[in-house]
Structure 1
Amino acid sequence: MLNKLNDENSRNPLNDLISDEIYSLLNERGLINEKSVRDYIIRNKFKAMRDNKMNVGDAIEALREEYPYLQFDSIRKIVYHKDK
């Protein structure tokens, strides 16, 4: 899991929110919550699949293939989680 997140971290998965330089600095100082970044990536991928008319079940199954350590319900909770 960490290797996959580290690969994604080196590419700045939050580039639509913060610059690569700021992301790199925060990451170097251990201020990036990897689980939250993973969940953000999952939500964006799910939204893209739904925008392409993929049904919910198929989209979640596709994400399960990419993140096999997550259960169907875990992914469902991630994609439907609303920030407070």
Structure 2
Amino acid sequence: MEALVKHRNPLADLISDEVYQLLVEHNLLDAKSVRDYQIRKRFRQLRAQNVPAYDAIERIQEEYPYLQFDTIRKIVYRGNGARH
């Protein structure tokens, strides 16, 4: 959870900095879910710039080198679970 505290609010488009900090302080955020949200958001940004999906995933992989291409592909196409 400390990784979340060290960075600015990665959910600023959803919640205020104060709410984010409160959630972090009470251990109510899952770091992996926040990361996956950021990856999906970045993928949408790249696609909006007409970057082909394959290239967008490769660019994201450069930002998250510890993740395999297929893992990123699953993250961006799986969604957040609420939209099925």
TM-score by length of 2: 0.87
Residue 34 of structure 2: SS of its match in structure 1? helix
Counterpart residue identity of residue 43, structure 1: R
- Trace 1:62-73 onto structure 2 (pairs within 5 A): 62-73=59-70
- Trace 1:1-84 onto structure 2 (pairs within 5 A): 3=3, 5-7=4-6, 10-82=7-79, 83-84=81-82
Indicate the percent of aligned positions where both proteins have the same amino acid: 56
Aligned length: 80
TM-score by length of 1: 0.87
Provide Cα deviations, 1:28-75, integer angstroms capped at 9, x if missing partner.
Answer: 111110000000000000000000000011100001110000000000
Task: Quote the RMSD (CA, aligned, Å).
Answer: 1.5
Segments of structure 1 that go 5 or more residues without pairing to the other structure are none
Structure 1 residue 6: deviation in Å?
4.5
Segments of structure 2 that go 5 or more residues without pairing to the other structure are none
Counterpart residue identity of residue 68, structure 1: P
